[in-house]
Amino acid sequence: MTTRSVRNFLFAFTVMWPTAGVVGEDSLISSIEVSHLTAAPEGRYWMHVRPGVIPQKEVSTQRSPIVVLTMQLTDDGGTHMFHGISSMWSDDLGQTWHGPVAHDSLARREQPGGLIEVPVDSTPAFHLPTRKLLLTGATFWLDPKINRDIRGGPSDTSYSVYDSTAHQWSDWQKLKMPNDPRFRYARAGCTQRVDLPNGEILLPIYFGGDNNSIHSVTIVRCQFDGKQLTYMEHGNEMSVDFGRGFGEPSLTRFRNRFYLTLRNDKQGYVTASSDGLHFDEPRVWTFDDGEPLGNYNTQQHWGTHSDGLFLAYTRRGVDNDEIFRHRSPVLISRVDHESLQVIRSSEQVLLPKLKDGFGNFGVCNITSDETWATAGRRKAAAGEPSVYLARIKWAEKNRLVETD
């Protein structure tokens, strides 16, 4: 396995795409700059691109934090034919990148009957008490004979720990859940978690009988000792009885309250909590004028600044009816954290409108001046840009980032 350093920005500029219905601005966002990082190889494209950061103070020899992007190749043919997780890293805030590099420790595992188990949908986030970058996600079972994931197959929450000196990941493991049939399919896929000051982790998961059953969402309180992630308890269970219920939950904390956003096949939902475990009845996302947000069957993620709460999402109604599930452009707006509504006048483009749209994306605070959003482009052809990075430049310091 080799690591290479590359300067692979294909372009970088402040976002100025004219997208119908998206003309807002927010005083906290100074600018948004978008660049390409990596092209698609022949027959595959990059998906599940998410950033994590090791703060500068944790890396004494560096003048910048170390940013790590996790990502995985997906076969152009078939359904959910994911390969193991790769990563790339930068120690100069993205001026140069090392990788992407595939890791044997995050590779597919062969199972009886010619089946494959693979970690997917993963998100890296720094755990300050142990000073470790912890990757949490999910597993998929694949059948190469039919070139797709197994209908009715199980799924677990996967995790791995990063060695910032060797730039390697530990062998992926599974979070052990209570022995309950409901947790045969229980995963932290495409989520954002919250770490508490005492080191405990609030990890959102969704669970159900199988991939296409009605799913419920809950928050799992975990212990993490730097190597092992351990279940302690979980909070109230939330679902709706249509589509596949709730999935891909993302959690944040803003001004001592916890906020959870939820995917559903028909519409996105939001709820809040005072303790991070027990949440109010979820409600449909709306704009502050009462109109539905228009997000459906696609995840949403938080961008959390000390002076404002933001939501990154996709939706109908922005001249994008030809895009699969309206998955581009990716938009960002400020959230009224009291009414739990999206402020329409603040809506602007985060990632551009593209043919076929984006796949799963990630959002992470990088420094007190910048928050990054990353995404893989669906169905990118060989040589076309496949990994996109949007830098949100803040007009005011983000005081939540105390470890630059």
pLDDT band at 14 (very low <50, low <70, confident <90, very high): very low
State the CATH number of the domain containing residue 318.
Answer: 2.120.10.10
pLDDT band at 359 (very low <50, low <70, confident <90, very high): confident
Predicted confidence (pLDDT) at residue 22 exceeds the cutoff of 60: yes
Q: Can you give the pLDDT at residue 152?
A: 87
Tell me the C-alpha distance between 184 and 92, whole Å. Answer: 42
Residue 399 in any domain: the answer is no
Residue 103 in any domain: the answer is yes
pLDDT band at 212 (very low <50, low <70, confident <90, very high): confident
Q: Can you give the pLDDT at residue 21?
A: 60
Residue 404 in any domain: the answer is no
Residue 403 in any domain: the answer is no
Residue 242 in any domain: the answer is yes
- According to DSSP, the residues that pair with 383 across neighbouring strands are none
Question: Which of 3-17, 311-325, 369-383 has the least mean pLDDT?
Answer: 3-17
**Tokens matching residue 330:** 């990716």
pLDDT band at 43 (very low <50, low <70, confident <90, very high): very high
Q: What's the mean pLDDT in 94-119?
A: 97
> Amino acid letter at 111?
Q
pLDDT band at 210 (very low <50, low <70, confident <90, very high): confident
Q: Can you give the pLDDT at residue 17?
A: 45
The three-state secondary structure class of 187 is: strand
Q: Can you give the pLDDT at residue 61?
A: 63
- Summarize pLDDT for 385-400 with one digit per residue, the tens: 999 999 999 999 999 9
Residue 262 in any domain: the answer is yes
In which domain, by residue range, is 147 found?
A: 5-394
- According to DSSP, the residues that pair with 377 across neighbouring strands are 358
Predicted confidence (pLDDT) at residue 3 exceeds the cutoff of 90: no
Residue 400 in any domain: the answer is no
Burial class (CB in 10 A: 0-12, 13-18, 19+), 113: exposed
Predicted confidence (pLDDT) at residue 331 exceeds the cutoff of 60: yes
Question: Which of 58-72, 167-181, 333-347 has the least mean pLDDT?
Answer: 58-72
Split into its structural domains, the chain has a count of 1
Predicted confidence (pLDDT) at residue 33 exceeds the cutoff of 90: yes
Residue 402 in any domain: the answer is no
For the whole prediction, is pTM greater than 0.85? yes
Tell me the C-alpha distance between 174 and 71, whole Å. Answer: 19
